[in-house]
């Protein structure tokens, strides 16, 4: 009887040890986190970097918000007043027409007032928004005479060559004019460190 009791006690001790070890292992297992949940939380807490204004309506965007809109990638560059070509490369961003179409009904025609974080602002008429701007010779920056006109797309860019813009020089966002050929447009149309755009009905 004693032997049988000892066997039962031994078995109980073994089972208790196994259960304790299993609990200890489970408690110390690395916890799997829901990355999508973390991303959503980070997305919600990221401060807005851009504001779109129309009449009494105002919409704020984070970089994540802008990146979720329909994207446009093409090439462009600009000619400075001193006769230099700069900023040539592939940019990714959102067409201005895509942003404006978020308001229903979309105001037509319209002009824009673009503001930057360093206090600069730029007025852009409807013809320029549609891409009817002067094109310059990419092989002769010293030539101030346009070689063509039109055919480019106005974009609020947030990436250059697949990377986020250099915040120290470009800010998080900038206005660019692009097409598949990489046309060179006037430098005064490119505005850096953009923080907001106001839509003005004509």
| 161 class by beta-carbon count within 10 Å (0-12 exposed, 13-18 middle, 19+ buried) | exposed
pTM for the complete prediction?
A: 0.77
For residue 46, the model assigns a pLDDT of 81
Nearest to residue 180, comparing CAs of 24, 76, 30? 76
Largest CA distance in the chain: 111
Per-residue pLDDT, 68: 96
CATH architecture of 48-201: Alpha-Beta Complex (3.90)
| Mean pLDDT, all residues of the chain | 84
Which ranges of the chain have pLDDT less than 70?
Answer: 1-45, 202
Asked if 179 and 76 touch (Cβ cutoff 8 Å), the reply is yes
Domain spans of the chain, in order of start: 48-201
């Amino acid at each position: 009887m004693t032997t049988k009791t000892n066997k039962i006690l031994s078995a109980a001790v073994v089972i208790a040890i196994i259960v304790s070890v299993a609990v200890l292992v489970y408690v110390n297992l690395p916890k799997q986190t829901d990355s999508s949940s973390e991303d959503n939380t980070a997305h919600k807490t990221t401060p807005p970097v851009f504001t779109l204004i129309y009449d009494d309506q105002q919409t704020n965007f984070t970089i994540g918000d802008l990146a979720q809109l329909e994207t446009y990638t093409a090439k462009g560059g600009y000619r400075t007043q001193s006769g230099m070509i700069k900023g040539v490369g592939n940019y990714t961003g959102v067409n201005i027409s895509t942003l404006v179409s978020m308001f229903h009904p979309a105001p037509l025609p319209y002009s824009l007032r673009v503001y930057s974080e360093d206090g600069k602002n730029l007025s852009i008429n409807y013809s320029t928004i549609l891409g009817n701007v002067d094109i310059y010779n990419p092989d002769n920056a010293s030539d101030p005479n346009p070689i063509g006109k039109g055919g480019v797309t106005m974009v609020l860019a947030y990436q250059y060559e697949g990377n986020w813009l250099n915040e120290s020089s470009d800010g998080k966002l900038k206005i660019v004019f692009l097409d598949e050929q990489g046309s060179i447009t006037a430098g005064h149309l490119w505005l850096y460190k953009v923080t907001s755009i106001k839509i003005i009905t004509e």
